[in-house]
């Protein structure tokens, strides 16, 4: 009995020193802090940069299965801002993940839509789930570039500075 108590005490000390051990830490790192069985949709960083997937995000949230959105907060704000706006419009709960363990490699995930419990959705990759969405290249969209430049131009070159 004393050995079990010591073991429990040692476990509490270890948890206090090293933190509570995680279940499937590699899986949680990949899916921005959640488990694969809870994931409804994923958008990789490469996919995010190739095309605007806000319609897919809205459609997925409106399905009513997953309403938790995890966004890789280490990405530039101008890349994730449309998705934050879409999540807010859809009344979904979103969290920006900025821990050092989340990477910005092209194959890393930028956005994960998940449920609070296991849903076992397949496929979860946005290109496989929504192959018919019109491809609009964000980087080559001259109108959005002009809008960004004019916004910054207005912000920093105001005539009414005092």
Q: Region 83-102: what's the mean pLDDT?
A: 92
Indicate the class that CATH gives domain 23-156: alpha beta
Lowest mean pLDDT among 31-45, 51-65, 141-155: 141-155
In sequence order, what DSSP letters do the residues of 64-122 get, joined into one string? Answer: TS--EEEEETTS-HHHHHHHHHHHHHTT-EEEEE--TT----TTSEEEEEE-SS----S
pTM of whole model > 0.75?
A: no
pLDDT at 137 over 80: no
Q: In this predicted structure, what is the pLDDT of residue 15?
A: 75
Domain boundaries in the chain? 23-156
pLDDT at 142 over 60: no
> What proportion of the chain, given as a percentage, has pLDDT over 90?
56
Residue pLDDT, tens place only, 118-132: 999 899 999 999 998
- For residues 19 and 90, the model is more confident at 90
> What proportion of the chain, given as a percentage, has pLDDT over 70?
78
Query: Phi and psi of 16, rounded to 5°?
Result: -70, -40
3-class DSSP state for residue 40? strand
End-to-end CA distance of the chain: 76
Q: Give the pLDDT band (50/70/90) at residue 152.
A: low
């Amino acid at each position: 009995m004393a050995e079990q108590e010591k073991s429990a005490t040692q476990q509490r000390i270890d948890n206090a020193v090293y933190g509570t051990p995680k279940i499937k830490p590699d899986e949680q790192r990949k899916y921005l802090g959640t488990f694969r069985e809870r994931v409804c949709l994923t958008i990789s960083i490469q996919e995010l940069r190739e095309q605007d997937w806000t319609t897919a995000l809205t459609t997925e949230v409106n399905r009513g299965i997953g309403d938790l959105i995890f966004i890789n907060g280490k990405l530039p704000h101008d890349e994730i801002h449309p998705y934050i706006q879409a999540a807010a419009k859809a009344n979904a709960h979103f969290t920006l993940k900025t821990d050092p363990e989340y990477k910005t490699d092209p194959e890393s995930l930028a956005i994960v839509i998940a449920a609070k419990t296991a849903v076992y959705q397949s496929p979860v990759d946005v290109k496989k789930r929504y192959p018919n969405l019109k491809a609009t290249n964000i980087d080559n969209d001259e109108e959005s570039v002009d809008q960004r430049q004019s916004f910054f131009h207005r912000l920093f070159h105001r005539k009414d500075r005092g």
